[in-house]
Structure 1
Amino acid sequence: PGKIASLAKSVRTLANMDDPINEILKRTEVADGLVLEKTSCPLGVLLIVFESRPDALVQIASLAIRSGNGLLLKGGKEAMRSNAILHKVITNAIPDNVGEKLIGLVTTRDEIADLLKLDDVIDLVIPRGSNKLVAQIKATTKIPVLGHADGVCHVYIDKLADMDMAKRIVMDAKIDYPAACNAMETLLVHKDLAKTPELDDILVALKTEGVSIYGGPVAHKILGYPKAGSLHLEYSSMACTVEFVDDVHSAIDHIHRYGSAHTDCVVTTDDKVAETFLRQVDSAAVVYNASTRFSDGARFGLGAEVGISTGRIHARGPVGVEG
């Protein structure tokens, strides 16, 4: 019931938004009597290949209807029946003057390969799934692809962090929804906090909740946790890596080397450290004293999101009706 209520709220938020089509974004008089206008318009036909969660279908379909785009949907086989029912409900609700064929449902995986060849018909592909899925789609199509391959998100706890706040942020970032792409996968900690009661309290709280902790090269030696197999690892489960760094600059270097440019967080009371982190971390979303889980279309006030983009061209971060 809670999930359905949340979906309904996101759809109503979209419905109550101003019409995003034909909005004048910029108007310039380039010469006497010559006016140049930049207006918003639909992208065209989108192919969305998404994970098994049926709520993704509702979010994506509502965004497509609101923004005037045609849509081809391919969901995970585990939710095939739910997707079919939701697709029927949505298309039956679309007025005749819009057309029920605005949203199509792809039912077999074999059709995807053929659809990816239709670069003259499909304008954008948005894959939402595993790293393997995203990489495979990018390698087999000429159609532009929007999305992200990994969600290796970091929380950096600075030596001047409010440790009670840090604990709340870390617990939310890891425990709230471990399989989400914006969940914390690596906890970076300033070296001065090693073996402090406050850090021990956070690590014990994680383990009490059932989180398996692995150590980076430094944390493995200091804390004795099993060594992480890789520092670029999206667990998507109740597990995370802990590593110690010298300072904020070392944290930034670590994130750029092992992260995925998705969402990264700094916890500190030092404004200069925060500003350095916010300005220098090159990620789609950079968060200051808040959980990585805030990197989400609904929490950003977008109503819903079609996906999260880590690219630098056009949309970056959660992508809503306006891109």
Structure 2
Amino acid sequence: MSTTREKAVAARAASRQLQNLSSDERAELLNRIADALEANEPAILRENELDLKKAAEDGTEPALMNRLKMKPGKIAQLAEGARQIARMEEPLVRPLSKMELADGLMLEQVTAPLGVLLIIFESRPDALPQIAALSIRSGNGLLLKGGKEAAKTNAILHRVIVECFPQFGVAKEAIVLVEGRAEIADILKLNDVVDLVIPRGSNDLVTYIQDNTKIPVLGHADGVCHVYVDPDADIDMACKLCVDSKCDYPAACNALETLLVHSSQLGAGGGYERVAAALDAAGVEKFGGARAAKELSLPPCPALRHEYGTLALTVEIVDSMDEAIEYIHANGSSHTDCIITKDKARAEEFLRRVDSACVFHNASTRFSDGFRFGLGAEVGISTSRIHARGPVGVEGLLTTRWLLRGKGQYSDKDTAVTYTHKKISIGGAWIKRAAEGITAAVGVVNAVNIGLMILAWKKGSGKK
């Protein structure tokens, strides 16, 4: 049996095979995986039922059971996510900047894969194909550790995916399914092989990972999301958005956990009364912050920064948007926060000032999601401020490289070259890609004509 290090090294070697595939080949691989997921849906659901049965026997809490279950339509959604990622523009070796360092010495900065990722997720087997699709498109090797309660579902999903690799000349070790805590502890020591860890799970899990590795860690520990109901809120809208944000998937990290209500919305017939009634009708239990517990006779909340993960939330009263923003910064987790208001100027100020990964105006917090953002899927949501923030899709799994093309130049203590450091526009690459696409569709002559039109438009509009 391979050692943990050997598995990680094999994943790196296989990732380089992925990187060597053309963009079209990686896209076709994702389409094959999408087809395979749909073709194996009955078998996947059977394994998931076995996991659900075992979890129920073990007394697994309802929130985790909800995450574990592969609901109707989930396989189709996962397949569509893979196809959506396949349709994305090629992410690798995309030019970001270009400069002439000296005569005949050209430097280019391009996108590149991170390398090998360790991603740990709890209870959600649907995360496995999402993460796999993003890693394939971005050319990264993958070490995956799912929750033990989803062992059978994870195993069949992994098998369905990796069996598509050999026909594209890629080793199955491009995605390795890791088992057991001991193996995770070993991998966390491999900072010379593994490039990034993304933990998706509880605060305890994230804290453990951060405390036990030298590998960079990306992710979030808490999902304490706020909705602020402004004095100028459309209350019918507020009722719908608050119920959806809390009830659509209470266990999700983008679910509403704290409802902030402007004091002008209180009183008989006020906006809060209608929002509270809508939440009551949806079965949501309400707890109060320091002020709301007294003025609204609500039981005190466990803590001002508390993630319920169930049909429950904290209500607090504020006297201004400034106070709401201060509350969010003091007690939130920088995940997703929303203002409900008809005042566009106030909304723009809220969007500008709230320092969270995702900030919304008049929209459910449930939209904070890679698939809904059009990323195809996500490997997780990051609340850190380095490298990637918010839902992390393909772009968040990339770094950069520098490519230097010369004609025999050498430095000799900088006496042998005359530096020009002349920036070169990379717009030409955009025009080239557009012309190539047009050529395939309408023929060489028409492509040339349209290419000239593009050039004229860019020159006339000042586009760079």
What residue is the counterpart of 1:137 in the other structure? 209
What residue is the counterpart of 1:180 in the other structure? 252
| Residue 2 (structure 1) shift | 1.0
SS where residue 214 of structure 1 aligns? strand
Q: 2:227 aligns with which of 149, 155, 173?
A: 155
| Residue 151 (structure 1) shift | 0.3
| Residue 166 (structure 1) shift | 1.0
- Taking the aligned partners of 2:102 and 2:322, their CA distance within structure 1 comes to 49
Taking the TM superposition and a 5 Å limit, the aligned residue runs for 1:217-256 are 217-256=290-329
SS where residue 152 of structure 2 aligns? helix
Answer whether contact 2:113 2:140 (CA < 8 A) is retained: yes
Answer whether contact 2:284 2:313 (CA < 8 A) is retained: yes
| Unaligned segments of structure 2, at least 5 residues | 1-71, 397-464
Summarize the Cα distance change of 1:77–1:113 in structure 2 as closer, same or farther, 3 Å threshold: same
| Residue 35 (structure 1) shift | 2.7
SS where residue 199 of structure 1 aligns? helix
Q: 1:54 aligns with which of 125, 143, 162?
A: 125
- Taking the aligned partners of 2:296 and 2:153, their CA distance within structure 1 comes to 46
SS where residue 180 of structure 1 aligns? coil
| Residue 32 (structure 1) shift | 4.2
What residue is the counterpart of 1:277 in the other structure? 350
| Residue 294 (structure 1) shift | 0.8
Aligned letter for 1:101? E
- Taking the aligned partners of 1:31 and 1:279, their CA distance within structure 2 comes to 42
1:6 maps onto 2:6 in alignment: no
| Residue 209 (structure 1) shift | 1.4
Aligned letter for 2:311? M
What residue is the counterpart of 1:300 in the other structure? 373
| Residue 30 (structure 1) shift | 4.5
1:23 maps onto 2:90 in alignment: no
SS where residue 169 of structure 1 aligns? helix
Answer whether contact 2:235 2:274 (CA < 8 A) is retained: no
TM-score (normalizing by structure 2): 0.68
1:84 maps onto 2:155 in alignment: yes
What residue is the counterpart of 1:262 in the other structure? 335
| Residue 31 (structure 1) shift | 4.5
* RMSD of equivalent CA atoms: 1.1
- Taking the aligned partners of 1:292 and 1:196, their CA distance within structure 2 comes to 28
- Taking the aligned partners of 1:153 and 1:179, their CA distance within structure 2 comes to 12
- Taking the aligned partners of 1:177 and 1:201, their CA distance within structure 2 comes to 22
| Residue 202 (structure 1) shift | 1.3
What residue is the counterpart of 2:9 in the other structure? none
Residues 146-170 of structure 1, C-alpha deviations (whole Å, 9 max, x = no match): 0000000000010011111111111
Residues 91-137 of structure 1, C-alpha deviations (whole Å, 9 max, x = no match): 00113412111000011122111110110110000000000100110
SS where residue 6 of structure 1 aligns? helix
1:314 maps onto 2:390 in alignment: no
User: Larger C-alpha radius of gyration, 1 or 2?
Assistant: 2
Matched residue count = 323
TM-score (normalizing by structure 1): 0.98
What residue is the counterpart of 1:200 in the other structure? 273
- Taking the aligned partners of 1:182 and 1:151, their CA distance within structure 2 comes to 6
Sequence identity (%): 62
Summarize the Cα distance change of 1:212–1:247 in structure 2 as closer, same or farther, 3 Å threshold: same
What residue is the counterpart of 2:140 in the other structure? 69
| Unaligned segments of structure 1, at least 5 residues | none
- Taking the aligned partners of 2:347 and 2:154, their CA distance within structure 1 comes to 43
- Taking the aligned partners of 1:39 and 1:60, their CA distance within structure 2 comes to 23
- Taking the aligned partners of 2:296 and 2:100, their CA distance within structure 1 comes to 65
Residues 220-243 of structure 1, C-alpha deviations (whole Å, 9 max, x = no match): 111101011211000011100000
